Structure 1
């Protein structure tokens, strides 16, 4: 019995003090770790802000400094659409910056796009004409793999278009696509229940039949946009066009065919156009791209905005 009592730690003299000391040291160490983590987090945010500020300053300083003679380049790649990299919001400011630079001798639009929105293309097309008159500098298009549909809508405004022999060029037409599942629903015994406040509000609904009136209305819209497209091409290309019955049918051609038809002016790459046409071999890319600092700034701004909204929601109502 005496050995069992001695083995019990709770019966050892001063065990309460030893336990409290251990707990106190553990709590102190936890506080130190939390403090170190807070300091590290604050330093990390500070470093981020410094990096963002330095990048912004460096970009502004580079933009304001005089540049040597060069060929300015703006890429138009992928789908031309609002919110995309090849949108008017991205392309127009890039073209403006390129032509405003005193060192740029000409602007080359490097195009590789299957097309997209006629609205976005129309905005860029109009801006090409305005900027050319404003700055008096030539604007060329160099086609890589493809310059079709809305991409050619843009290219038609350029002074000259250069292609590769195997490039895909043209597709001067407009389309509106979709699906119709009315017959399939009838076979499956599915009833479509669509409520509208206007007889044409369900226009183009894939689960509802399309009337001849609606079809004719859609076709008239397409024909009007197509006519606008044709006018832009004729205005931009002028007497260089060798019109054929199929030129504005929506077909596309190789670069070699495009040159023969007057849809393009010659063969060339970005380097050859800068060297032989612009006579300024140095290339400067003005394409607007979202860099790491901008992405982090946007995410941080979104986080701050979300926090502000939450804070506002917790405020008591005004009386």
Structure 2
């Protein structure tokens, strides 16, 4: 089976590509490298000892995408490509709507044209907006508090409509909570450009001296210590969920949605303290104003994925912090060194 991986040079896409290769799949990676590095592709080949095709192509380039679909016989698509920063989406909403939604529409058009019927879509817990309660179940009402979340929500609706119009289409929508960690080898990890938008890369860059201090956005939430609570999941656990979703689509028709989280919420300060314990570092921090579009508490009920996919997160918070730090120490300047 050959799987098309969009955004396969990025943080989650690269780890998923490794997992696919190690589970015997063939892959073709498409990535425009707008927020990733070609070096990650080279690392994947080195780590797995397996070669695969990489195309630097934007999903908005329908002709280039058509050429790729014509060249390979894809069994399924794993769709990771898209802009992903909540704060940036508030500042640049039109870019997010254009890139994330139009790119997905082009991808789906090519799938239909070339009779590729299975899709695993990278969605987000942001589609729950301000949840009515926690832990969050897949059946909860959907909304979003920022343009990034709304692009994911709109794409989910598009995919449901697509499946209704074509009974042969099979789609797994995976709603991620907060992926952190890195490959245990230290060869793959999250490599943000500029000041990180996500917590753990921010912490590791402070720890290694690239940033002066951690800025914690909001200390007045209704939580135990006032900082936001999230469900942090190791990226290696997360991508194992994608393999399970792919296997599920072999046997099930239609669209199904799954939360991928641990079911446990940790506050920002709990993460900082865990990181301090694992590394022996002391992370300086400053609590600043909340970011637009952020919410206070968000963690998953992952029981549906456990029941239907046979998947559950296994790695501890300590392992998440350890692997994130291992990646940063081995790659102080990310993939650019």
TM-score normalised by structure 2 residue count: 0.28
- Bigger fraction of residues in helix: 1
